[in-house]
């Protein structure tokens, strides 16, 4: 589904609909779809940040553990 604000229409399943011709329920459905799409995109962005953060801390832990192991190996 794509929405074109300039023409005040949406395209759904390759068919164009004028938003002004929609009834109240249809406009509500469209509002939900628009809001859910925004939330999905925001969640994807947040997930990407969380994954990068997780990977960073895994790398820090790995470096720290290997540093400790190297120090222990050298002292023996």
If you write DSSP's letter for every residue of 2-51 in order, what string do you get? Answer: EEETTTTEEEETTEEEEGGGS-HHHHHHHHHHHHHHHHHHHHHHHHHHHH
In the predicted model, residues of the chain with pLDDT beneath 50 are none
The whole-model pTM stands at: 0.69
pLDDT value of residue 44: 98
């Amino acid at each position: 589904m794509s929405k074109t604000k300039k023409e005040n229409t949406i395209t759904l399943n390759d068919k164009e609909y004028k938003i002004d011709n929609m009834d109240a329920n249809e406009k509500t459905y469209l509002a939900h779809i628009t809001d859910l799409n925004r939330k999905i995109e925001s969640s994807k962005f947040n997930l990407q940040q969380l994954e990068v953060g997780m990977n960073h801390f895994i790398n820090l832990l790995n470096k720290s553990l290997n540093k400790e192991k190297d120090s222990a190996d050298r002292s023996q």
